[in-house]
Amino acid sequence: MSNNQTVPVMSIAEANALLTAPDGRFPMKQIVVNGEEYSVFEGLPETFADLFAATAKYAGREYLVYEDERVTFDAFRRVAAALARHLAGQGVNKGDRVAIVMRNLPEWFIAYYGAALAGAIVTPLNGWWTGPELEFALVDSGASVAIVDDRQMASILPHLNACPALKRVLVTRHEGPLPADSRLFRLEDVIGVPNAWSGLPEAHLPQVDFVPDEPVSILYTSGTTGRPKGATLTHRNICSVARDMEMRAEAGLIQAAEQAGMDVEALRTAMPPPAPVLLISPMFHISGIVGMLLPLHVGCANILMRRWDAVKALDIIEARGVANLSGPSLVFSDLLALPDGARRMRTLRSCAVAGQATPARLAEELREGVPQIGVSSCWGQTECTGAATTGSGALFAAFPGTVGPRVPYVDIRVVDAEGNELPCGEVGELLVRGPTVMCGYWGDEKATAEALRDGWLHTGDLGRIDEQGLIYIDDRAKDMVIAGGQNIYCAEVERVLSMMHEQQEVALFGVPDERLGERAIAAVTLKAEAVGAIDEAAVKSHVRAHLASYKVPLEVRFDLGPFPRNDLGKINKAQLVQRYFELAPANIS
């Protein structure tokens, strides 16, 4: 479809401009942070204490739903404050790191808010990581407390002695006696169980002097150098996104009113209470962190799932009237593949494909099978606290391939390899600046200096901006595979593959996959004496012993060598992918 097509209703960019005007619902102002001038929302909650205070108005509403457990906003406030007081009483001071390692449980939310309100820097760790991966992050962050579930306790336990800063581990949902270790304590002994949280004392927080531009969270991202880096986010970073979530909902309301030919306030009055959110993204991921913010602002429930199960998810969507859903493409593919799936998704009004570009076929299937749904897309990364662009509804349909215009509080530009800004339509590296850009990588000055230059975040993604301000992603400068919404950095997996004594050279690359977006392929050439002595299962087992299961290659090829290389001697991944398809044309999806 031509980019000259007119969007049939007000675009997100136009709605944003209306909302952020001086007389709009979300006016903006200029502030200076560390010598850089940014646009921020007026009246923005500046710290997690402000976000927490704003939830009091929803006291009687459901906030967390997990299986047969129900937690109201009032109960959430009571238990988060109780945990904050406990942590402060146990010596957790402002700036100390508190790690969270657990699946999506009600306790995850309490751990995050309780630690943040105690003044700690909350450090969620990947719940799919292996023990060695968890050990690295616990040591790197210097976490003094970890709050974990029963399964993650088993992963961490053999590594406790290698984490000298870690003094206390609070364990939840563990049946039977805890292992004999003086560092282990039951979280339930501190806060009780979810259905009893409403009986805790009223929320009373420890005294903490919060500063908007000081760190509140460390989120680890697997790195191109083979080791995860801790993207350090401030109170202002996350609070800016929280207000943006509220504004996006308002922009959607304006679009809906225009489509219906109604006055915005009349439509607002006629609307039922906000529908619950089915939270699919893992909470250790930036999409999970962002996902927990919208219910806090609009007062709706978060429905949690222990693991992805399309059948159960469809039951929840239909029974609870879920209207908004966000997740990787496989979530929507799986739902549509179920018998009568499209019809049972009739309550959905919007879906956001997160973590990767929306496959064109999936977008078309959603529009045809669930015509009332508004398909949206966005682009961003952990280092800029999630989305830096967003496009949805008519805009996304009219301009397929775009990830939308920039969100109103960031600036985006495109530069060449020398840092020169490029004109409209030319492809270069995308740079982002604004109040959501991280303050740096935890304890890594070199990586911080490479990523943050003159106030701009160098994203490593290659894209272009058209004359209408719409942004398109053309490639990734970073060597990684995105499978099922999860970033798999090739260097990290290649580091583990290179530990195998039998290998001569190794490489990891991605190929298209309709369900996952991409699938990871490991290319391995073997030493002469090892040919025939090692197979695909052995390679996968080796990777699984060192890395999380989602990083294990789905396929291992031994017939792609010798690897093509460029003039500098580096493996040419593009030619390697081409060779993969030439030798196995049936693999083309």
Give 1's pLDDT tier (boundaries 50, 70, 90): very low
Hey, CA dihedral for 177, 183, 187, 189, is it positive or negative? positive
| Predicted confidence (pLDDT) per residue in 307-355, tens digit | 889 999 999 999 999 988 888 778 888 999 999 999 999 998 888 876 5
With a cut of 50, say whether residue 588 has pLDDT above it: no
Please tell me the number of Cα atoms within 13 Å of 229 on its side-chain side: 22
Tell me if 465 sits within 8 A of 414, measured CB to CB.
yes
Cα–Cα–Cα angle for 138, 143, 149, nearest 5°? 70
Secondary element (H or E) of residue 336: helix 329-337
Backbone angles phi, psi at 456, to 5 degrees: -105, 135
Supply the pLDDT for residue 457: 97
* Three-state secondary structure of 535-548: CHHHHHHHHHCCCC
The three-state secondary structure class of 176 is coil
Supply the pLDDT for residue 83: 98
State the average pLDDT over residues 58-65.
94
State the average pLDDT over residues 399-406.
82
The residue among 556, 226, 241 whose CA lies nearest residue 407 is 241
Distance CA 76, CA 26 (A): 27
Pairing type for strands 229-234 and 145-149 reads: unpaired
Higher pLDDT, 108 or 531: 108
State the average pLDDT over residues 137-156.
97
| Predicted confidence (pLDDT) per residue in 192-229, tens digit | 999 999 999 998 999 999 999 999 999 998 655 567 89
Secondary element (H or E) of residue 260: helix 235-260
State the average pLDDT over residues 162-187.
97
Tell me if 436 sits within 8 A of 410, measured CB to CB.
yes
Q: Could you tell me what percentage of the chain is helix, strand and coil, using 3-state DSSP and rounding each to the nearest 5? A: 35, 25, 40
State the average pLDDT over residues 382-398.
82
The residue among 377, 387, 324, 380 whose CA lies nearest residue 353 is 377
Backbone angles phi, psi at 513, to 5 degrees: -145, 125
Distance CA 180, CA 169 (A): 12
Residue whose structure tokens are 């044309």: 585
Give 385's pLDDT tier (boundaries 50, 70, 90): very high
**34 Ramachandran zone, left/alpha/beta (phi>0; psi -120 to 50):** left
| Predicted confidence (pLDDT) per residue in 264-277, tens digit | 788 777 777 788 99
DSSP 385: T
The residue among 153, 144, 157, 152 whose CA lies nearest residue 118 is 144
DSSP 586: G
| Predicted confidence (pLDDT) per residue in 473-507, tens digit | 876 667 888 888 888 888 789 888 988 888 888 99
Tell me if 107 sits within 8 A of 409, measured CB to CB.
no
DSSP readout, 182-211? Answer: TTEEETHHHH--GGGGGGSPPP--------
| Predicted confidence (pLDDT) per residue in 6-48, tens digit | 444 455 567 677 778 888 878 888 888 888 888 888 888 889 9
Pairing type for strands 350-353 and 324-327 reads: parallel
Examine residue 132 and say whether the peptide bond preceding it is cis (omega within 30 degrees of 0).
no
> Average pLDDT over the chain, rounded to whole?
88
| Predicted confidence (pLDDT) per residue in 232-249, tens digit | 999 999 998 887 777 777
Tell me if 294 sits within 8 A of 277, measured CB to CB.
yes
247: CB partners within 8 A, 6+ apart: 16, 19, 20, 25, 26, 41, 408
The residue among 205, 182, 198, 200 whose CA lies nearest residue 190 is 200
DSSP 53: H
State the average pLDDT over residues 371-376.
80
The residue among 291, 297, 312 whose CA lies nearest residue 25 is 297
Residue whose structure tokens are 């996902």: 291
Supply the pLDDT for residue 291: 84
Tell me if 85 sits within 8 A of 190, measured CB to CB.
no
The residue among 102, 146, 149 whose CA lies nearest residue 120 is 146
State the average pLDDT over residues 542-566.
91
State the average pLDDT over residues 127-155.
96
Pairing type for strands 452-453 and 62-66 reads: unpaired
Delineate the domains of the chain, giving CATH numbers in brackets: 12-45+235-476 (3.40.50.12780), 48-210 (3.40.50.980), 480-587 (3.30.300.30)
Q: Exposure string (b/e) for 31-49, b if CB count within 10 Å is 16 or more?
A: eebeeeebbbbeebbbbbb
The residue among 381, 444, 491 whose CA lies nearest residue 140 is 444
Give 376's pLDDT tier (boundaries 50, 70, 90): confident
Give 511's pLDDT tier (boundaries 50, 70, 90): very high
Q: Terminus-to-terminus CA distance in the chain, angstroms? A: 24
